Structure 1
């Protein structure tokens, strides 16, 4: 019976014209993707194997640029400059990721579960985006009169008798760099987490409460697992941006703190394009490895 029924079902085949139309529809996006993404990456990879001198680039194939990047790293007595720079970059990425994750999750949780009115939710969400209406550089510079030696914060601390002299580490330090990063990129964590929270079925939270779960148990066993897609997407945004940033570290670090992005920018300004390209390739590989590790935690395409 089942065999006769299955044999009687019509077999749906896709018309060749429809398949060809689908390829034509995908062609513009594919062309843009190749022109503005794959071709530049291929050029960077190609230039990273070129040689150069003080006056010109020398097309060819050499591993000299990669060797020079890791020169002296085999010495076990002291960490080489490249490893120190990467360690500094990873340190900033980890700190900024952790702070933005906690802050972004808290803000998203408040907007999604404690603000009942959709209108108020929209208003508060728009208020979170107001800093993005201005340039990143302007937002960074705005911290200088606040955190400087003679800035508002130091004047207030000295005036209140909290300290006897201005605090030096508030500006042009690791603290100011992390503070600026958190200020600039927390929104990249809020948006995907808030989107995930708004998609949570509220009946699941009610069921957890009816089962006697505490607020922390509901948060840990229900809300966080259902928000993992937003957490992963926000983490990818924040980590990848911080890893390649050089403007924020240059401005808020007083040109005294090294990062991979800053090294690439300096090498480019000195017209050492093959060396900068080699550093960019190494940074790209590391970032792709981080993204791959994060996407192993959750199937983003399936969840979305």
Structure 2
């Protein structure tokens, strides 16, 4: 009985350091954000008095304006549009890269080497990788100069930089790797005998891909989707820098409110954003059981 008691306590002791870190750096800050979202502020002073006015300000006259969209709904629509576009592109590119590494490269050593090459961009800052697009996409950038020199255009293209295109391109550049890793990990776990059995049964390459590989990679796709969605939904640096401060997003709205010391309203916006992201994650976990991967 004493040995059984010790064995029952040991797992909790082993999990305690991680649980304390989780509590101190995630749970408590989130609780504080929720608490501050119900405080009031006046003349840049925060007053710990309970009010729901901050949430009313976030959704100021949104319901009464329907079917027209208020500023908050327009901002969320813009953010969700970027999120959907980036998710589709990163999923397509990431799946192709992961498939190539897992099934087309036969040597494990070469697989590891190519996978390491995919991680090389992460050795530099995200900001540096963002800025690297400016000399390429600017009016006097390499792309415009090449197109003009080839006679394809007469004047520089203004929409290449500080636009939705540059923001989406940068997002895909920065976050595709977050899709590659979990999908590649899922594909490595696929039993190759299943593919051989499907091929022996007369299945074509596309049938094997759609009916065998994709279903067995759903867990990795879901995990990669969660990574990409959560990062894009809360991003404000990429949209601000590559969008020329002209594109609205929820993360940028929160950043502006913080810069004006409007912490309670910023906290309310953050709570609404967190709830939105959690709903998206909940929907993904209803489709795919990611516990199989963990």
* TM-score, with length taken from structure 1: 0.94
1:36-66 CA distance string (max 9 Å, x none): 1110000000000000012310101101100
Q: Secondary structure at the match of 1:57?
A: strand
Q: Give the equivalent residue in structure 2 for 1:138.
A: 128
1:78: Cα distance to partner? 3.0
Q: Give the equivalent residue in structure 1 for 2:49.
A: 60
Instruction: Give distance in 2, aligned partners of 1:20 and 1:126.
Output: 40
Mapping for residues 232-247 of structure 1, pairs under 5 Å:
232-247=222-237
Instruction: Give distance in 2, aligned partners of 1:212 and 1:79.
Output: 53
1:40 aligns with one of 21, 29, 47: 29
Q: Secondary structure at the match of 1:296?
A: helix
Q: Give the equivalent residue in structure 2 for 1:205.
A: 195
Q: Give the equivalent residue in structure 2 for 1:195.
A: 185
Number of positions where the alignment pairs a residue of Structure 1 with one of Structure 2:
293
Q: Give the equivalent residue in structure 2 for 1:69.
A: 58
Instruction: Give distance in 1, aligned partners of 2:118 and 2:197.
Output: 32
* TM-score, with length taken from structure 2: 0.97
1:216: Cα distance to partner? 0.4
1:194-226 CA distance string (max 9 Å, x none): 011111111111111111100000000000000
Q: Give the equivalent residue in structure 2 for 1:225.
A: 215
Q: Give the equivalent residue in structure 1 for 2:17.
A: 28
1:159: Cα distance to partner? 1.1
Instruction: Give distance in 2, aligned partners of 1:178 and 1:71.
Output: 29
Q: What stretches of structure 2 of length at least 5 have no aligned partner? A: none
Instruction: Give distance in 1, aligned partners of 2:44 and 2:259.
Output: 14
1:123 aligns with 2:127: no
Change (3 A) 1:303 1:77: closer
1:62-116 CA distance string (max 9 Å, x none): 0110001111212136311100000000001000000000000000111111111
Q: Secondary structure at the match of 1:103?
A: helix
1:159 aligns with 2:149: yes
Instruction: Give distance in 2, aligned partners of 1:125 and 1:25.
Output: 32
- Where has structure 1 moved over 4 Å in runs of 4 or more? none
Larger-Rg structure = 1
1:120: Cα distance to partner? 1.1
1:170: Cα distance to partner? 0.3
1:81 aligns with one of 68, 71, 82: 71
Instruction: Give distance in 2, aligned partners of 1:54 and 1:92.
Output: 35
2:251 aligns with one of 236, 254, 261: 261
1:51 aligns with 2:36: no
1:100 aligns with one of 56, 73, 90: 90
1:249 aligns with 2:239: yes
1:25: Cα distance to partner? 2.5
Q: Give the equivalent residue in structure 1 for 2:261.
A: 271
